[in-house]
Chain A
Amino acid sequence: MQNRDNIKIKVSNLTKKFGDLLVLDNVSFEVRNREFLCVVGPTGCGKTTFLNTLTKLYEPTSGEILVNNEPVDLKRHNISYIFQEESTMPWLTVEKNVSFSLEIKRKTRAEIKKSVEEVLEMVGLTKFRHYYPNELSSSMLQRVVIARAFVTKPELLLMDEPYGQLDIELRFKLEDELLRIWKQTGTTVVFITHNIEEAVYLSERILVLSLKPSKVKKELVNHLPRPRNIIDKDFVTLRNQVTELIKWW
């Protein structure tokens, strides 16, 4: 039952070329409101280009991107994007890093104070508000970036393999935290990663990309009940199914 109004993003025939190097080849898909979509593809499938073109950071060669049925516009739509590359600002304290988003959106002093307080609490960084990034571990930096993304209460959250470098125990913890925040705030999440197990663990739906020039190879709905267990039967079958679509090694 796909009614018109609950589609958050509608992408049709999105293509991206750098000179004559074709990276995205006629990609079309939809993301429903409040949905947790995982996009997974083989190494080198141009996933950063995928998200950057989706948000018009890279000008698409052709194709159309609609958010709430209007062409995507970063100045009007409340979108947050967590990049794979470490993106805290070294010259700002943790608190200033987080309030950066709201300052850009020109919110009032009081509003900024309240939301920053809330989100620092949510990711457990209240004690570290006056630290500088070069004084924090990589997992703490990752939390600053997550706090900065959630402080604006985005309607759409894009994440480019944010937990790629963290060790397994921390990754499980941050993934569960992300699911909790996603449930709590009701944002729509597009989470792109190389890690197939992570995609199966987090997603309600999985978009499988092909190698460059990447196309949408398959869409899989993920019916696994939550909380999910990575060693239970159905989880493993779904994981193997996705792996078969991607396996290049």
Chain B
Amino acid sequence: MQVEQERHIKTAVKCEGISKTFETKRGKTYVIEEVSLEVIENEFVVLFGPGQCGKTTLLNILAGLIPPTKGMVVVNGKPVISPGPERGFVFQSVSLFPWLTVMGNVEYGPKVRGIDKETRQKKAQYYIDLVGLKGFENAYPNQLSGGMKQRVGIARAYCNEPVVMFLDEPFGALDAQTRYLMQEELIRIWETEKRTVLFVTNNIEEAVYLADRIILLTNSPVRIKKEFVIDLPRPRDYTSEDFLLLRNTITKMMDKTL
């Protein structure tokens, strides 16, 4: 019975034996080795690991931005070979289109996919309101703060109606307090507009606060070290007893890079 029940829960992202090696002048560097993982629909999974240990490379492979040297990725039942609109991506440096207003940025996805002006602007307005930027539709990126730029990045990815959202350390450049705010905002948005999320970070507090499941990665080469199911009730409290305990055990398990 258990297996039966398993099947009707749809798998959103699945990858088998993913490896990645880069050819450099000084010979081959093994960045990722034999990573296999499965993410079920509407699950918030955090890829957590020390420093720059190739987490971003793994995320780029899962999103189809760069090809793996070995192994295969399946998203939403279809093999991933190139970037595609069913996978939304928020980059670490956000990189909005500087010449487009907030509205222009958010509606860019539907626009290039040929959706008519009226429907796409209505949808874009919905997501702009969802991320709390009502009233900033005509602002240009160079007029926005760091936190606001992140919100536009998230709205832009959502507006493309992706099945899976990939976020690569989006709050890395924010100060500690704005970061807490953005983490709470992200969870609020995720709970209103459920999507499968793959979130990369090297901040343990952020990982424990956001994740349904944390995949702890080793240092380079990247391998899966351990998986932690986080079943703390939401909204989570950064200074609660079990939050701190969980955070401490994962930090201890983490590879030391220095």
Contacts and interface: CB of A to CB of B under 8 A. Distances in A.
In the complex they form, whether A and B have CB atoms below 8 Å apart is answered with yes
A17 interface: no
B143 interface: no
A230 B51 contact: no
B247 A231 contact: yes
Interface string A123-140: 000000000000000000
Interface string B7-51: 000000000000000000000000000000000000000000011
B245 A231 contact: yes
Contacts of A42: 177
A169 interface: yes
B234 to A, nearest CB: 17
Contacts of B203: 167-168
B200 to A, nearest CB: 12
A165 B171 CA distance: 10
B176 A167 contact: no
A236 B245 CA distance: 12
A249 B204 contact: no
A18 interface: no
B239 A236 contact: yes
Interface in A183-203: 193-198
A169 B172 contact: no
A158 interface: no
Contact-size category for B: 20 to 34
B115 interface: no
B140 interface: no
Interface in B145-172: 172
B87 to A, nearest CB: 26
B52 to A, nearest CB: 8
A164 B175 contact: yes
A194 B251 CA distance: 22
B253 interface: no
B133 interface: no
B50 A169 contact: yes
Contacts of B173: 165
Contact of B248 (A168, A195, A231): A231
Contacts of B56: none
Contacts of A164: 175-176
Interface in A139-156: none
Contact of A43 (B178, B244, B256): B178
A249 B239 contact: no
B3 interface: no
Given A43-B177, A164-B175, A249-B180, A230 B244 contact: yes
A169 B177 contact: no
B1 interface: no
A10 to B, nearest CB: 29
Interface in B199-258: 202-205, 239, 244-245, 247-248, 251, 254, 256-258
A243 B176 CA distance: 12
A129 B192 CA distance: 53
Nearest to B180: A249
Contact of A236 (B50, B172, B205, B244): B244
A173 interface: yes
B112 interface: no
A240 interface: yes
A160 to B, nearest CB: 12
A164 B254 CA distance: 21
Contacts of B172: 165
A170 interface: yes
Given A236-B239, A239-B239, A43 B258 contact: no
Nearest to B246: A231
Interface string A163-180: 011011110010000000
B51 A248 contact: no
B239 A169 contact: no
Contact of A195 (B176, B247, B256, B258): B176
Given A164-B176, A168-B251, A195-B176, 13 more contacts: A42-B177, A43-B175, A164-B175, A168-B205, A169-B257, A170-B258, A173-B258, A194-B177, A196-B176, A230-B244, A236-B239, A236-B244, A249-B177
13 contacts: A42-B177, A43-B177, A161-B175, A165-B173, A168-B203, A169-B254, A194-B177, A195-B175, A195-B176, A198-B176, A230-B244, A231-B244, A246-B177
- Please provide the 5 A-B residue pairs with the shortest distance between their CB atoms, ordered closest to farther: A249-B181, A195-B176, A167-B202, A231-B244, A194-B175
